[in-house]
Amino acid sequence: MLWLTVIGVRAAYLQIYKGDWLSHKAAVQYEREITLSGKRGTIYDSRHEALAVSIETTSIAAYPGMIENKGSAALELAKALKMNSKNLNRKLNTKRSFVWIKRPATPKEVAACKKLNLKGIGFLPEHSRFYPNTTLAAQVLGFTGIDGHGMEGIEHLYDNELKGAETTVTVFKDALGRGFDSDRWAAMKQSGNNLVLTIDRHIQYITDRALADAVTEHKAVSGMAVVMSPQTGALLAISHYPFFNPNAYAKSDRPVWRNRVITDQFEPGSTMKIFSAAAALDSGLSQSGSIFYCENGKYRVGGHMVHDTKPYGWLSLQQIVKFSSNIGAVKLVEKVGPGVLYDHLRKFGFGLRTGVDCPGESAGSLSNYKRWTTVDTGAIAFGQGVSVTALQLITAASSIANDGVMMKPYVVQAVTDPKGQAVRTFAPEILRQVITPQTALNIRRIMHSVVTEGGTGVKADVSGYSVSGKTGTAQKIDASGNYAPKLYVASFLGFAPTDQPAIAVLVIVDEPQINYYGGLVAAPAFSRIVRETLGYLNVEPTEEYDWKKLRVSREEKVNG
C-alpha cells in the first residue's frame, strides 16, 4: 500500500505539475516546424510553351535524436546516396532535432534509403525547378536555389509572383520515426502565378545555333545576339554563348550566368556611324548626297592620326556609312558639331537605362559633350570613347526601323494565375520620338547600301529580302587602359525587310581569332538568323530571288 501510494503521488505530480514541461519535451523530440512553399508558377514562352516548370520531388531528412547508431546510419546512407560518410556523420551527431540529408533526392535514392528502414529518417515532399529546354534562354530565365527562391534572371526579378504560398507546418513522428498521415501538405497545393514571356522558343533556338557556330568557327571567347520586334519593343530572343544549363548551374562559372546583353558595356565601333549619320540628317545640317573629303586614308585630329582601312577621296554621307569610313564620320561630326551629336545620341538612349524588366541593367557611358575634346568628338563619331550595352544598341536601331519611334524593350508580357487567367498584362510602351519618319527612312536605305556590292556587310544579305544593317569592328581596351592591338569585338546590327522591318537583329562576337571584321565574323550569323526567323514568321519575300546568282554559287561549290 505504501509503494502504491508513492507511485500514485508521483503520477499525480508528473500529470498535474509537470504535464506541460513533459509535453514540450516530447514535442522537441518528435515534432519539427518547417516552412513549405506551394508549387512555383510556370514560365512560358510567347506561344505558351513551357520554359521553366516545377516538379514534385522528395527530400530526405533525419531526426538525430531518434537514431541510435549514428556511425552505422551514416555509412549506410552514404552508400545509398553516394555521399561522404564523414560529412553525414557530422550532420547526425548534432544537438539539433532535425537536419536535411539530401534536398532534393532522386526517386532511385529515395527508394534505396527506404530499403534501409532506418529509424529517424524522414521523406518530405517538395517541389524542384526544372528547365525542359536545358540551355535555351538560360541567362534570361535564371534559376532557383535549393529553397526554391529565384537567384538569377527572371526567376529572381519575379520571385514574389512565381513562388507559391509559404506555410509553416509541424512534422510529426511516432516512436518508430514514421510520419503520421495528415493534411499538413495542403500548403503544397497553393501554387504561384505564371509568367508569359515575349521570348519565342523557336526564334531563340535559331539565334542560339547561329551564334554558337559563329563563335566556335572564329575561335572567339564568347558571343551575344538579340532579336527584337521594332514595332513593340518585345524581345524575341536573347542569346549568349557559352551556354549553361540552369538544371545544373553549379557546374558552370558564375560569369556565364549573367545576362550580358543587359549588364555588360563595350565600345560599339562602327555601328555608331548610323547614329552619327542620323544626327546629321535629322538636324538638317547634311543630306544623303552631301560629300566629304576623306583625306586618302589618313587624317590628323588633335595630335592623333585617324585611319581608314582603304584610302578614300570624296565620299557622300551614304558612302561613308556603306564603306564605313572613320575619317568620313569625323568630317561629318565636325560639320554637325558635338552638341547636336550628343543630343541625338541621348535621344537614341545612349548613357541611359532602357527600363527593361530584367535585373542588373547598365546605363552604359556617354559623357556630356562639354567635356569632349576634339579627339573625343571624332572618336565617338565612329564608336570609340563611348560604352553601350547590346540592349541599348538594338533598341536604338529599332527606333530607326520603327519610323523614329523608340519602344521600351520588355521580356514579360503577362502574369497569369494558376488557372491561366490574366492577373496583369504589359502592353508595348512608347518612350519617345527620336528622329523624324523621313530621317528614319533615309537611314534605313543608307543602311541597305551596306549589304549591297562594295559595302562592308555583303555577307549579311538575305536572298528574297531587302536587308539594312551596319558592321562594327572595335578594338578592346586592355587592363592597362590602352587599346589592345589584337583584341576586337566584331558585330553586325540591322533589320529586315528594309521598308517595313519585322525584326531587328544584333550579333556580337567577342575576341574572334580567325578574322575580326564584323562583316566577316558577325554578318553571316545575322544573315542566318534573319533568313530563318522571317521564314518561321511567314514574312513574305520583298524581292525576287536571284536564281542566276544562286546557280553560279552552287556551280562554284561543285567545282571547288
Q: Is 125 left (phi over 0), alpha (psi -120 to 50) or beta?
A: beta
User: How many Cα neighbours within 13 Å face the side chain of 161?
Assistant: 19
For residue 342, report the phi and psi dihedrals to the nearest 5 degrees. Answer: -60, -45
Nearest to 197 by CA among 225, 238, 150, 256: 238
Contact 488, 512 (CB under 8 A): yes
DSSP string across 60-88? EEE-GGG-S-HHHHHHHHHHHHT--HHHH
What is the 3-state secondary structure of 141-172? HCCECCCCCECCHHHHHCHHHHCCCEEEEEEE
Contact 486, 476 (CB under 8 A): no
Distance CA 52, CA 136 (A): 10
Q: Which residues contact 342 (CB under 8 A, 6 or more apart)?
A: 366, 368, 369, 372
Contact 409, 390 (CB under 8 A): no
Q: Is 270 a catalytic residue?
A: yes
For residue 120, report the phi and psi dihedrals to the nearest 5 degrees. Answer: 90, 10
Q: Which residues contact 125 (CB under 8 A, 6 or more apart)?
A: 56, 57, 58, 59, 185, 188
End-to-end CA distance of the chain: 114
Q: Please state, as a whole number, how many other Cβ atoms lie within 10 Å of the Cβ of residue 431.
A: 18
Alpha helices in 460-541 (DSSP H): 518-521, 523-536
Q: For residue 12, give the C-alpha cell.
A: 499525480
Distance CA 393, CA 399 (A): 10
Pairing of strands 468-477, 31-37: unpaired
Contact 121, 61 (CB under 8 A): yes
Q: For residue 241, give the C-alpha cell.
A: 554563348
Distance CA 63, CA 28 (A): 11
State the catalytic residue, choosing from 59, 239, 270, 527.
270
Residue 205 CB burial class (10 angstroms; 0-12, 13-18, ≥19): middle
Alpha helices in 93-217 (DSSP H): 107-116, 138-141, 153-157, 159-162, 201-217
Q: Give the helix/strand (H/E) hosting 4.
A: helix 2-12
Q: Is 296 left (phi over 0), alpha (psi -120 to 50) or beta?
A: left
Would you please indicate which residues are annotated as catalytic (active-site) residues? 270
